[in-house]
Structure 1
Amino acid sequence: MLKMTADEIGAFLQQQETGVLSTCADAEAYGTPESFGYRNGKLYFELAMPAESKRRTFLTQTDTACFTVQDAKTARDFASVIVQGSLDQLSEDGQEAGMALAQNDQFPSSHVFPGQDTSTVRAFVLEPGSVSGRKGPDFEIDATAASLPVRGDNE
């Protein structure tokens, strides 16, 4: 297993569409698959937050969120990135989130189910505090696609 460079991590995140967002409340972890957008070194999400939902409880109580993205084809052809940091709700317009999601979000409405009230959807940004990326020896990525300011074990 090899460490990814900051440029490889940025390019990888730009090319992926989904991952698992992990939050924590009262010493209980909660992970949900989410579509995301990557722009200017930050991760963006549009998340439904119905009143009294488990998701709302966990999002409002989490100090540090963790987002994991992986692409695994074989035992030698794989990559994964883990981003930890603060997850904050954006202002009402969510313009930056919308632009990021439009760039690399395959399923922009994956958080909404048929018949679900979309008025509870809010835009969030994950500000990276630490980032790590690993890849297998056969994984290839065009590292010129994007760059992520990396803090953590890739420094």
Structure 2
Amino acid sequence: MIVNGIKLTSKQKEFCDRLVETKNPSLAAEEAYDIGSRGGRGNVDKTVSTARTIASINLDKPNIRQYLESISGNAANRIEQLSVTAKNESVRLKANQDILDRAGYKAAESLDITSRGEKIDLIEQKVALILTGKNDEDVQEREDSESGEGVVQG
């Protein structure tokens, strides 16, 4: 079959479609080539290995790469259009976040930096410091004095 001017087998097209849908090459290969339906439960490792091999081989094929590139360009254009024209504000926000993520401007995530497992958003903490006119050293000095560290007692 010829899709977008690119020659693909039906299974190759199915693999590409599943890959776009799942974003997981091994799972796409497993579904497109019906790998998991053979052999029963005892062959899970073999199924995973076979799926990985097929996915790797497929992703090295020029026609599959060309097809994926052709459909990914369309997706990028749709995301860009949604970022401006979507009626729903949350859709526009998500599209813009996706564009920024892909451009390398992903927002910082909360990090677990305490012994009790509390989550602290480092960006919010930094903003609070800026708004209060304090800097990191002021906060550290206050924490040290509260905990008794750095204080020489006689």
TM normalised by structure 2 equals: 0.24
* Larger RCO: 1 or 2 (CA < 8 Å, sep 6+): 1
In proportion to residue count, which structure has more helix?
2
TM normalised by structure 1 equals: 0.24
Which has the larger Rg? 2
